[in-house]
Structure 1
Amino acid sequence: MFKILIIEDDTKMREIILENIRRWGFEGYGITDFDNAFKDFINYDPHLVLLDINLPSYDGFYWCGKIREVSKVPIIFISSRNTNMDIIMAINMGGDDFIQKPFSLDVLMAKINALLRRTYDYISSEVNLIEHNDVILNLKDSTVSYKNTKSELTKNEFKILYMLMKDKGVIVSRDSIMRGLWEDENFVDDNTLTVNINRLRKKLEDLGLESFIQTKKGQGYVIL
């Protein structure tokens, strides 16, 4: 089921859109805490975003820029602002379409359906981001980012971080990690795992993340 995130300050408008997209068989979520809009985006991991320009704290252009730092998810701006400069800004910041308020719900749904069709014909609609304490692991390009910095991970580094972030708060044993890294009969021995863990920690430290991966002696590793 496609998930649609609505970043809209007008409560009545937000609820009308939510009701309509659910009637079409989509899942919907409307943001109400606009200071944490980016974190909500990461946690919800939508297939499409409806984004107003006039919002509390930061405007829609700002949030569009933040989203584009980590995702190519389709974004439709919905706004009462209709100058050429507003539309140009919306598209230049990474928006895929612009609908002026007031608009027909039928037109909105037609645009949503068309954009979803074009975007996901050949792209998996599975979750592609994992977030924890502002650390974002991108499952599509094997990168990890924190605030405004990003680092590319090797295949093994990515798998280790994925296993730990997926089971955050749970101690993952060295044996479990080594089994996860065992592919094509190329066994990863204990020393190889230590080397990969140390390299991964160094990359995380370079991003400003000290002690993100914690060692539990005799048990394994954990991210809290």
Structure 2
Amino acid sequence: MHAPRRVFALAILTALAGVFTGLAGAPAAANPTAHTNHPQKLPPPPKRSETHVYLMRGLFGVFSLGMDDLAGKLNAKGYRSDVYAWDTWPQVTALVTQRYSDGHRGPVVIIGHSLGANSVFSVADTLHKQNIPVRVGVTFDATQPGQVPSNVAVFINFWARDGFGHPVQPAPDYTGDLEDYDLSTQPGIDHTNIDALDRFHQFIIGKLDGMTAPD
């Protein structure tokens, strides 16, 4: 058990630069079994086509079009991505549950903006009660965020204090990675466009690419 890792970024560009610089400069891990002729092999990462991404729009299902743009970028890279209205989260939960019952064990990724971001918590909480893991959860300016449940391995929250967004908190038993990016001081970022900015899309795509393999 380990405490959740909280990342608070006052400047998202600085945060992103640190992430990618760290990845590029990370030294190769030493082989703890170099003395043996039979080192243990790690399982291969899941394929992108095995990764289902569920994106949730905000109010009325006609705003948050950044979700549609992000879905298109993900599909172009080989992920299986679909966009839903925020209030269809029970159907999304049922779809994930059915796929899990049918034997699908690829990564589950849930992304949402505004009311759709609130729905990310609803889906994750319901899946938690069914012991179904969520590989990545991403929220853009959730208006009423819940606690991040322990079945979510990585949770990323982008928010701005403009009357809508809020920081998120982990559940008491959460041991995953929680990244909370406060963009309140960044010019040109507000509730209406936070979901549509390409630099955040590329950050998310980079996260998923690091967890999966091309087909």
Query: What is the TM-score normalised by the length of structure 2?
Result: 0.42
| Greater C-alpha Rg | 1
Structure possessing the higher relative contact order (Cα contacts under 8 Å, 6 or more residues apart): 2
Query: What is the TM-score normalised by the length of structure 1?
Result: 0.41
Whose helix fraction is larger, Structure 1's or Structure 2's?
Answer: 1
